[in-house]
Amino acid sequence: MTRQPEGGFLLLSAVNYMDMLFAYPRLLAFTIDIFKKIGCSDTDAHTASVALLSADLRGIDSHGVARLIGYVRLRDAGRANPKPRISIIHETPSTAVVDGDSGLGLVVAPFAMQVAIEKAALAGTGWVSVQNSNHFGIAGYHALQAVKRDMIGIAMTNASALVAPTFSLERLLGTNPICVAVPAGEEPPFVADLATTTAANGKLEILQRKNEEAPLGWIQDSQGRPSTNPHELKTGGALLPLGGDRDHGSHKGYALGAIVDIFSAVLSGANYGPWVPPFPAYVPMPTGMPGKGIGHFFGAMRIDAFRPAADFKHHMDNWIRRFRSATPVPGNQSVLIPGDPEREMEAERLAHGIPLLPAVVNDLKGLAEKLGVAFPDPA
């Protein structure tokens, strides 16, 4: 049984016969319980859980509940604060800098996005750079909060260095994703959510599990040579920026990842480049860190700060329909609108459950036992 949408934009994990399906509400209740057990308030536990599981619903399995144990370990290592005092430390009518007080990014990011939305309601747009945070799940979840308010939403984050800029042997950038979510009228929103690398790290993990090789252009080995070995990062290799090599525009992917790093961290006072703290709690922290925690950047632009919302939505529908109805290359599927595969996945998983790999289920059961929380039955 495989339910990967054929040729979807993201390499959504196929469901295999070993997976167990869990109803979203049960997995949500479980995740809330875990976050409460590690010291989060009821409200924060709920906020974090909804943000985290949005990845599972949208098919980005690498960033969902499979990472719950990673967040718990960050708290156990004293790297994530379950009771943060999140604050605005600088602001103007359309900007703010938020200090996350080392909180979970899953809690800090929704706060910061809300600030951006409230700024936009008054000033037309709102832009918030965040310091002293941790990993925030998927960018798409945060950007979509703005769409509910008839705003364009933008979310980006830096992350620990896995990517070698063009010509570099060293890893200096994270996969630094950008999401831009745009409301439409009768059509669903346009949601472009992309790592600024040729392939996200989650794709390598899938190849590792399947024992398959990566296409050339995704990774380089420890000597900077092109490689197809998806395990290369464990021995000093690196992911490559979008484009893959110089001839195919890797300097552009490098520049995009750099922009995310600068907006998220140099603007806010977080760590940047090779100094961004790692997600796995067992990886030592970088030395000589120039800032606080990891950084994010959020934007919200009110549509009617530019033109009447109805006009915009009418043209956005027209844009979407024209692209979706484009003549495809013979033998190919039809042209997709960014966000289509994730939205379809979400509808299916809400209806039929979220599939989890046996290894993930085992991890979560161990976590449940350790913290004295009931693990849900499959459903």
Q: Are 234 and 157 in contact (CB under 8 A)?
A: no
Q: By CB under 8 A, tell whether 332 contacts a copy of itself.
A: yes
Q: Is 344 in the site for a copy of itself (CB under 8 A)?
A: no
| 115 phi, psi to nearest 5 deg | -60, -45
CB of 194: closest distance to a copy of itself in angstroms? Answer: 4
Matching residue, tokens 């364009």: 152
Binding mask 214-253 for a copy of itself (x = CB under 8 A): -x-xx-x--xx-----------------xxx-xxxx-xxx
CB proximity list for 336: less than 8 A, separation 6 or greater:
8, 9, 324
The stretch near a copy of itself (CB under 8 A) out of 255-263, 277-285, 342-350, 356-364 is 255-263
- Per rule CB under 8 A, is residue 86 in the interface with a copy of itself? no
Is residue 5 near a copy of itself by the rule CB under 8 A? no
Q: Which of 36, 75, 135, 302 binds a copy of itself (CB under 8 A)?
A: 302
Number of residues that bind a copy of itself (CB under 8 A): 89
| DSSP character at residue 339 | T
Burial category of 185 from C-beta neighbours within 10 Å (exposed 0-12, middle 13-18, buried 19 and up): middle
Task: Considering only the stretches 41-49, 62-70, 73-81, 267-275, report the one whose residues sit in contact with a copy of itself under the rule CB under 8 A.
Answer: 267-275
Q: Which of 5, 124, 188, 286 binds a copy of itself (CB under 8 A)?
A: 124
Non-local (6+) Cβ contacts of 55 within 8 A are 61, 62, 63, 64, 137, 138, 141
Compute the distance between CA of residue 132 and CA of residue 271 in angstroms, rounded to an integer.
Answer: 8
User: Segment contacting a copy of itself (CB under 8 A): 12-20, 229-237, 319-327, 354-362?
Assistant: 319-327
Residues whose CB is less than 8 angstroms from the CB of residue 41 and which lie 6 or more positions away in sequence, other chains included: 83
Q: Which of 268, 292, 293, 349 binds a copy of itself (CB under 8 A)?
A: 268
Rule CB under 8 A: is residue 169 a binding residue for a copy of itself? yes
- Shortest approach of a copy of itself to residue 87 CB, angstroms? 15
* Cβ-proximal residues to 366 (8 Å cutoff; 6+ apart), any chain: 69
From the list 13-21, 35-43, 125-133, 138-146, the region that binds a copy of itself by CB under 8 A is 125-133
The interface mask with a copy of itself, positions 347-376, x = CB under 8 A, is ------------------------------
Q: Judged by CB under 8 A, does residue 21 bind a copy of itself?
A: no
Q: Which residue number, 125 or 145, has a Cβ lying nearer to a copy of itself? A: 125
By CB under 8 A, residue 329 contacts a copy of itself: yes
Compare residues 233 and 364 and give the one whose CB is closer to a copy of itself. Answer: 233
Buried b / exposed e along 43-66 (16+ C-beta atoms within 10 A): ebbbbbbbbbbbbbbbbbbbbbbb
In the complex with a copy of itself, the residue whose CB is nearer, 334 or 362, is 334
- The CB-side HSE value for 339 (13 A sphere, CA atoms) comes to 19
7 binds a copy of itself (CB under 8 A): yes
How is residue 212 written in tokens?
A: 């398959």
d(CA 331, CA 297): 40
Structure tokens at 119: 């700024």
d(CA 169, CA 65): 33
Residue 305 in contact with a copy of itself, rule: CB under 8 A: yes
